A = this chain, B = another copy of it.
Amino acid sequence: MAVKSWVVSANSPECDFPLENLPFGVFRQTGGARIGIAIGDQVLDLCGCAHQGLLGTLPAEVAVACSSDSLNALMALGRSTWSSVRRQVTTLLASDSDASVRERTKQHLIPMREVRMQVPAQIGDYTDFYASLHHATRVGKLFRPDNPLLPNYKHVPIGYHGRASSIVVSGTGVRRPSGQTKPANSAEPTFGASRSLDYELEMGIFIGSGNPLGEPIPISAAEEYIFGMCLVDDWSARDIQSWEYQPLGPFLAKSFATTISPWVVTLGHWNRIGSLWQSDRRRIRRRCPISRRPIRRARALR
């Protein structure tokens, strides 16, 4: 049986943020942006915990990284550090924690409804992979009804660089883009608002630590570099895309916004979810931290 937390809301079967999850995010309350960890309906202020010595025996550089306004510095410290922080926070929040630790930790809990979440990292680059045979076939049919899947698809990971600078956090309003399109019955293109706004629900992966330029990472070591995952809404203006995308790929049709969910669920937690999936599918449905809100917003905009 899973360990409970003294944060009562975290123990509800409906809660996305039980003690086993502890995703990282960046929030604002009244002051500047701070790193937080979600627990139940609360956010644990990691900067406050670091300053109050609640992160235990972790090195000083970890406290500095936890006091940043983005996850980059923490992610750069590598997997063993991320794991240590989560282990320490699990200890602070577990129902069997020391009473005095609990009292000190409580001072750094903020109700989730009082904070605004923001994009959790400075994203230096992002790659949009054309993953899933079914998706590639389906989207390919939109642009090439007779030839949806190209010869390279089953051999090499097809992807392109997305626009890192227009990544926004879930809940940010997205303006319908204008652009050039060429209707099939017209000889010349026209300019105007997109009439085919679409969305793609994807999984986002945060690469935590990097590698020197030109040195490959073996696939067997890939997990060492993955900090965690979020949800992505890859907004797409299909009419703009079909006119502009050859030969260099999607560009303005995607560059108006890409929405990500604010909480980064660590890879360690996903691995545990995977094991759970084998043993108890009902429980996984309750524990899988997917917010339904972005999808409803997307539907409203179509």
Q: Give the Cβ gap from A134 to chain B, nearest Cβ, in Å.
A: 16
Q: Give the Cβ gap from A205 to chain B, nearest Cβ, in Å.
A: 15
Stoichiometry, copies per complex: 2
Chain B proximity mask over A226-253: 1 for CB below 8 Å, otherwise 0: 0000000000000000011111111100
Are the C-beta atoms of A247 and B249 separated by less than 8 Å? yes
Are the C-beta atoms of A248 and B156 separated by less than 8 Å? no
A264 within 8 A of B: no
Chain B residues, Cβ within 8 Å of A270 = none
A163 within 8 A of B: yes
Are the C-beta atoms of A213 and B124 separated by less than 8 Å? no
**Which residue of B has the minimal Cβ distance to A216?**
B178
Chain B residues, Cβ within 8 Å of A180 = 155-156
Given the interface contacts A124-B164, A163-B125, does A152 sit within 8 Å of B244 by beta carbon?
A: yes
Are the C-beta atoms of B164 and A163 separated by less than 8 Å? no
A166 within 8 A of B: yes
Q: Give the Cβ gap from A123 to chain B, nearest Cβ, in Å.
A: 8
Are the C-beta atoms of B155 and A189 separated by less than 8 Å? yes
A257 within 8 A of B: yes
A247→B156 CA distance, assembly (Å): 12
Chain B residues, Cβ within 8 Å of A122 = 124
Are the C-beta atoms of B189 and A125 separated by less than 8 Å? no
Are the C-beta atoms of B247 and A165 separated by less than 8 Å? no
B160, B243, B244: which contacts A248 (Cβ < 8 A)? B160
A133 within 8 A of B: no
A24 within 8 A of B: no
The 8 closest A-B pairs by CB, nearest first: A249-B249, A175-B214, A161-B161, A125-B165, A160-B248, A248-B249, A156-B180, A124-B165
